Amino acid sequence: MNVGLSVSRVGSVAQIKAMKKVAGKLRLELAQFRELAAFVQFASDLDKSTQAQIERGMRLTEILKQEQYCPMPVERQVAILYAAVNGFLDDIALDRIKDFEIGLLEYLDNQSQTALQSIKETKDITEQTEQELKNLIGEYKKIF
């Protein structure tokens, strides 16, 4: 699937509010990444900001990869996308992104069902849920 070119008649109407919150930023960042990636082919020196955008785009692309026949509940999708678009994966090596994703989701399951349960039930990310996600993701990063 090409996130930048994929178009649906239903569009974001079918998404829950929590997904809309993370997907909007995701689409913007991926569009910028693709534009920069095309431009960078012709450039030799990159400033730190451009390099950071490219690195984040690569991580976002990696996080969107999903094993065949392994559906993921939407609350888990929201949690990992939240981590990705908010820069929590920026310092994780690209080849360790999948390990981080698996470990984070296990950590969320084991440490606190409330964040994922809240997203599942309310279909939104409340301020309280967002704060809990930030704390849990930060805690997991320390032990990863």
| pLDDT score recorded for residue 129 | 94
Please tell me the distance from the alpha carbon of residue 50 to that of residue 60, in angstroms, as a whole number. 15
What are the extents of the domains in the chain?
15-143
| pLDDT score recorded for residue 11 | 60
Counting as low any pLDDT under 50, the low residues of the chain are 1, 4-5, 7, 9
| pLDDT score recorded for residue 96 | 96
| Helix or strand (DSSP H, E) at 143 | helix 127-143
| pLDDT score recorded for residue 26 | 85
User: Which tens digit of pLDDT belongs to each residue from 67-85?
Assistant: 889 899 999 999 999 999 9
**Domain 15-143 carries which CATH code?**
1.20.150.20
Q: What token pair was written down for 43?
A: 């450039």
Question: Which sequence positions are flagged as catalytic?
Answer: 9
Please tell me the distance from the alpha carbon of residue 141 to that of residue 8, in angstroms, as a whole number. 35
Question: Would you list the DSSP string of 47-98?
Answer: -HHHHHHHHHHHHHHHHT---TT----HHHHHHHHHHHHTTTTTTS-GGGHH
Q: What token pair was written down for 109?
A: 């399951």
User: Who contacts 138 (Cβ-Cβ below 8 Å, separation ≥6)?
Assistant: 88
- Specify whether the CB–CB gap between 80 and 52 falls below 8 A: no
